[in-house]
Amino acid sequence: MRLEFNGQPVSDLLTTAEIALQPRFRDVEQIARENQRRVLDAFHLQRVSAADLQGSTGYGLDDMGRDKLERVYASVFGAEAALVRPQIVSGTHALRLGLFGVLRPGMKIVFATGQPYDTLLGVVGIRKTAGSLAEWGVQHLVVPLLPSGAVDVESVLAALDDRTAMVFFQRSRGYADRPALPVQTLARYFQEIRESNPDIVIAVDNCYGEFVERVEPCAVGADLAMGSLIKNPGAGWMTTGGYVVGRAALVEAAAAQLTAPGVAGDYGPTHDFLRPLFQSLFLAPHTVSQAVKGSLLAAYVLEQAGLSVSPRWNSERADLILAVTFGNPDDLLRFCRAVQSTAPIDAYVRPEAGAMPGYEDPVIMAAGTFVQGGSLELSADAPLRPPFIGYLQGGLTYEHVYLAVEQIMLALQTASG
């Protein structure tokens, strides 16, 4: 069968898209090259050797490979220190370590980029949850983004008082209808806050942002940044893990939350993880570039199909997420099912919306991934709520995303005609 969309064969649409996207693809490749160089330089500076890939057991004391890995991460992320562990089970876990490391009863955290990611609502106690920061007597204040998507710096500055110990930024859009914030934009906000509040900890939820741009938040003034290894820096290769990077004392405090005060980061066996930890970081700049190229292709083609997408194909990228507004649940479900049908794993499964721990609305997830929940692998998900926005992210190879976009177009075409 010949695929068509609005009279145009889908193959022509894809060819036109790739021609139009050539300059964008060149940009993405150049960013990947610069990030690859930074990763490689860090390996060389630390003299990473075959012996560093071995791993440790038990307490994991004197694990020199792990210590080197953490120095490599610190230098790649422009930070003083890093905690990179397979024992960190998710991005939320890494973020929780950073938050509980710094915040004490009576202190306040200000969210500068609006409501944080869904799973953090429980951590902070914005949604009543046992064990949250609120239960420990830590207060929070959420400053919504301006309608333009910019940070409301005036309101953030006005919200800072003697008790405010942390200002928190989310780089990626997450599941919110807001743009991702480029690191250079974040840098300006950091500077404005820093000028009047030298001691406040500036923390960044770095999930989905790593290696999309040329610099990372700690290189431009953030004190702490956290992320997941089953997203960008794990290159689709890590099966678990998370990281905290930042000022040495803050990373130490986060490590004390992971293990125990007094032993902090000295404990922590790496088992068989050191080789994939090093190897995935080495691969990450390229793999992230594949996902970004795929996302640009999807943005271009879906826009041609008459859908509203964000960010558009010609705007700067600061994360991996493409938001597509469908306006109705049926097309959203078609989109998710098309992505599922091109997955390497579980392609025959028909995803349905269901409850997810940590999320408020029913969520539909299309993810036939090698690693459960691994979202640098091509995946689509959406909380089932108006205006029915589907989020497409990841793709370990550009070719895979290409095939998925082709399939999405077929599914939408069948529905419309």
Ligand X SMILES: *Cc1c(COP(=O)(O)O)cnc(C)c1O
Does the footprint of ligand X cover residue 341 (CB under 6 A)? no
Give the 3-state DSSP-derived string for 101-145, with helices as H, strands as E and coil as C.
HHCCCCCEEEECCCCCCHHHHHHHCCCCCCCCCHHHCCEEEECCC
DSSP secondary structure of 150-186: ---HHHHHHH--TTEEEEEEE-S-TTSSS----HHHH
**Per-residue contact flags (x/-) with ligand X for residues 245 to 284, judged by CB under 6 A:** ----------------------------------------
Pair 170, 112: CB distance under 8 Å? no
Does the footprint of ligand X cover residue 383 (CB under 6 A)? no
| Cβ 357 to ligand X shortest distance, Å | 10
How far apart CA 379 and CA 368 sit, in angstroms, is: 7
Does the footprint of ligand X cover residue 174 (CB under 6 A)? yes
Which residue in 35, 56, 119, 341 binds ligand X (CB under 6 A)?
119
How far apart CA 281 and CA 76 sit, in angstroms, is: 9
How far apart CA 294 and CA 13 sit, in angstroms, is: 15
Residue closest to ligand X, measured at CB: 91
Nearest to 378 by CA among 362, 363, 366: 366
Mutual angle of helices 329-341 and 398-416, in 10-degree steps: 140
Helix (H, G, I), strand (E, B) or coil at 54: coil
Which residue in 75, 87, 113, 170 binds ligand X (CB under 6 A)?
170
| Cβ 296 to ligand X shortest distance, Å | 19
CB nearer to ligand X: give 13 or 353: 353
Which residue in 87, 90, 341, 342 binds ligand X (CB under 6 A)?
90
Which residue in 75, 132, 172, 304 binds ligand X (CB under 6 A)?
172
CB nearer to ligand X: give 75 or 287: 287
Pair 201, 234: CB distance under 8 Å? no
Burial of 386 (0-12, 13-18, 19+ CB in 10 A): exposed
Does the footprint of ligand X cover residue 115 (CB under 6 A)? no
| Cβ 388 to ligand X shortest distance, Å | 20
- Segment lying near ligand X (by CB under 6 A), choices 56-64, 88-96, 121-129, 405-413: 88-96
Does the footprint of ligand X cover residue 86 (CB under 6 A)? no
Which residue in 35, 56, 75, 92 binds ligand X (CB under 6 A)?
92
| Cβ 207 to ligand X shortest distance, Å | 3
Helix (H, G, I), strand (E, B) or coil at 165: strand
Among residue numbers 196 through 225, which ones bind ligand X (CB under 6 A)? Answer: 205, 207-208
Which residue in 60, 78, 91, 122 binds ligand X (CB under 6 A)?
91
Pair 88, 296: CB distance under 8 Å? no
- Give just the sign of the alpha carbon dihedral 50, 54, 55, 56: negative
How far apart CA 406 and CA 412 sit, in angstroms, is: 10
Q: Which phi and psi angles does 202 have, rounded to 5°?
A: -95, 115
| Cβ 345 to ligand X shortest distance, Å | 19
CB nearer to ligand X: give 208 or 300: 208
CB nearer to ligand X: give 170 or 289: 170
- Segment lying near ligand X (by CB under 6 A), choices 36-44, 133-141, 167-175, 299-307: 167-175
**How long a stretch of residues is the chain?**
417
| Cβ 248 to ligand X shortest distance, Å | 24
| Cβ 172 to ligand X shortest distance, Å | 4
- Segment lying near ligand X (by CB under 6 A), choices 166-174, 279-287, 328-336, 364-372: 166-174
Pair 235, 281: CB distance under 8 Å? yes
> What dihedral do alpha carbons 38, 42, 45, 49 form, nearest 10°?
-130
| Positions that interact with ligand X (CB under 6 A) | 90-92, 117, 119, 170, 172, 174, 205, 207-208, 228
